[in-house]
Amino acid sequence: MAGRARRLADALRKAGLKPGERVGTLMWNHHIHLEAYFGIPGAGGVMHTLNLRLHPDELAFIASHAEDRILIVDDVLLPLARRFLDRTRIEKIIVARISDEAAPGEFEDYEAFIAGGDPSEPLVEPEDEFTACSICYTSGTTGRPKGVAYSHRALMLHAMCLGMKDGWDLGQNDTTMPIVPMFHVNAWNFPYAATLVGAKQVLPGPYLDPESLLDLMAGEGVTITGAVPTIWFAVTDALRAEPGRWTLPPGIRVIAGGASPPPALVRGLDALGMVPIHGWGMTETTAGATMAHPKPEMAGWPREQVLDLFAERHLPMPLVEVRVVGDEGEAPWDGAAMGELQIRAPWVAARYHDAPGTEDRWTDQVAGDRTADGWFRTGDVANIDPAGFVKISDRTRDLVKSGGEWISSQDLENAIMGHPAVKEAAVIALPHPKWGERPLACVVLRESAAAGPDDLAAHLAAEFPKWWLPDAYEFIAELPKTSTGKFQKSVLRERYADRPWES
């Protein structure tokens, strides 16, 4: 891998890549993408991972905004690339062949391209450790996509932290498999962290169905893997459907993050012999910033109690500082006081790439000053308990404001997903003539399972005050998902905007 990455670096330099210039990648998780993770920065360039699930219009905007000039693209993704290339400055296209299709003659073939690179040529030294190594755009669920550039320093410190016991405890005896895409937040830094410690890396390519993933996990002896909860729903279902088909390595760590995993899922992973690790992070925080690990004083706790805590709460990793700021200023760590989660760490972004008007996301931003101690305003609503465990309740815009009081849509949907008949659930706020907003639950039932609004209401009533319970339920075949596999509530809000409330 190192030799091929060095060839890529030299070939890129020979192709005229200047230090600091962006090179786009439009690829699945596979070895060529890994080579790009090293070869592009090795040539002094900045790797810009493009999200292959975005609309061509968005990709045109993002690739233009980042001023990508060179693109490395999977052959199977060329049809997508062709839909936005002419709206960008991309002038050189290098095609990675991952299918049996004949090489598209009009573009350069990746293998031929790197064959022209000399692996003994020295790599380009970054100007300093703050030099950008890669850039990734937020998926734009909150407005226009914004670019976050990651410095060599941020990625290295974050990777080192993942190696720590209370990060991911990564080491050379691990076999890693990022299911989280390499085009989103550097696959949560799996590639750099695994390479740093010398772990074997398994990359699933475009095959993300549960059977393919389980074949790899069992066949390659994966010891740590990570994905959004939606993937883990499918994987646990597949394991339960065919007991005995797959033997997973004992103690395999399963990172679930990007959205909150319902307690039923965390318990399910544990029951199936996996070690669930719930993490929270954002594009702006170089992926995982908090991870669920037990504190010493929890040593005697029953497993169920630990798992239920982990489904909800996670601890800041070393070097990460968190606080919750409400209307009254910084909130106490009492496990209840809610406010906006703010965060500070050496790998939290200090600004967005070329995005005037976004400075208010940092508390005391000093333009251009790298040492400014601004806290990043996450836009997530959270509380912190006395032990320091953080609980994310919602994104600010997902909270339901009913009669002046807040209802956490995330708490409700996780509880609904704890009902045995429910596969997926999303709760949204809809305008209400009397209360301002009230919750509507959109529910996908498991195949051949039955449950009605009364069953779900009774299930929720055991846990929540009456005024929290959704006023109505929509039973639907599928929940819309974002490009990174999260429930896309904006689509649901639009779909049901004019839905009348039954009296």
Rule CB under 6 A: which residues touch ligand ADP?
A: 138-139, 141-142, 257-260, 278, 280-283, 378, 380, 392, 395, 484, 486
CB closer to ligand ADP out of 259 and 315: 259
Does the annotation mark 236 as catalytic?
A: no
Q: Is 95 exposed, middle or buried (0-12, 13-18, 19+ CB in 10 A)?
A: buried
CA dihedral in degrees (382, 383, 384, 389; nearest 10)?
-60
- Write the CB contacts of 185 (distance below 8 Å, at least 6 apart in sequence): 136, 281, 282, 283, 286, 287
CB closer to ligand ADP out of 42 and 262: 262
Q: Is 470 exposed, middle or buried (0-12, 13-18, 19+ CB in 10 A)?
A: buried
Q: How far is the CB of 484 from ligand ADP (least distance, A)?
A: 5
CB closer to ligand ADP out of 248 and 382: 382
Residue nearest to ligand ADP (CB): 139
CB closer to ligand ADP out of 236 and 482: 482
Q: How far is the CB of 380 from ligand ADP (least distance, A)?
A: 5
Q: How far is the CB of 35 from ligand ADP (least distance, A)?
A: 25
Q: Is 406 exposed, middle or buried (0-12, 13-18, 19+ CB in 10 A)?
A: middle
CB closer to ligand ADP out of 138 and 223: 138
Q: Can you read off the two tokens belonging to residue 420? A: 């045995």
Catalytic option among 21, 108, 284, 340: 284
Angle subtended at Cα 390 by Cα 424 and Cα 363, rounded to the nearest 5 degrees: 110
Cα–Cα distances (Å) from 391 to 32, 278, 382, in that order, read 37, 11, 5
- Write the CB contacts of 381 (distance below 8 Å, at least 6 apart in sequence): 338, 339, 340, 341, 392, 393, 394, 395, 396, 399, 406, 408
Q: How far is the CB of 281 from ligand ADP (least distance, A)?
A: 6
CB closer to ligand ADP out of 32 and 265: 265
Cα–Cα distances (Å) from 443 to 12, 83, 397, 422, 503, in that order, read 49, 34, 20, 7, 20
Q: How far is the CB of 260 from ligand ADP (least distance, A)?
A: 4
Catalytic option among 358, 396, 406, 474: 406
- Write the CB contacts of 69 (distance below 8 Å, at least 6 apart in sequence): 17, 21, 22, 23, 89, 90, 91, 92
Does the annotation mark 242 as catalytic?
A: no
CB closer to ligand ADP out of 153 and 377: 377
Q: How far is the CB of 317 from ligand ADP (least distance, A)?
A: 13
Catalytic option among 14, 92, 200, 401: 401
Does the annotation mark 284 as catalytic?
A: yes
Query: HEC string of 310-373?
Result: HHHEEEECCCCEEEEEECCEECCCCCCCCEEEEEECCCCCCCCECCCCCHHHECCCCCCCCCCC
Q: How far is the CB of 288 from ligand ADP (least distance, A)?
A: 8
Q: How far is the CB of 448 from ligand ADP (least distance, A)?
A: 30
CB closer to ligand ADP out of 6 and 278: 278
Q: How far is the CB of 256 from ligand ADP (least distance, A)?
A: 7
Cα–Cα distances (Å) from 3 to 9, 16, 47, 122, 125, in that order, read 10, 20, 18, 12, 17
Catalytic option among 25, 131, 138, 482: 138
Q: How far is the CB of 84 from ligand ADP (least distance, A)?
A: 19
CB closer to ligand ADP out of 138 and 176: 138
Q: What SS3 state is found at 429? A: strand
Nearest Cα to Cα of residue 43 among 25, 63, 22: 22
Cα–Cα distances (Å) from 383 to 267, 305, 316, 448, in that order, read 23, 19, 13, 38
* C-alpha span between 295 and 276 (Å, rounded): 16
Q: What SS3 state is found at 117? A: coil
* C-alpha span between 224 and 91 (Å, rounded): 39
* C-alpha span between 288 and 71 (Å, rounded): 27
Q: Is 432 exposed, middle or buried (0-12, 13-18, 19+ CB in 10 A)?
A: middle
Is the CB of residue 184 less than 8 Å from the CB of residue 27? no
CB closer to ligand ADP out of 142 and 247: 142
Does the annotation mark 138 as catalytic?
A: yes
Active site residues: 138, 284, 401, 406
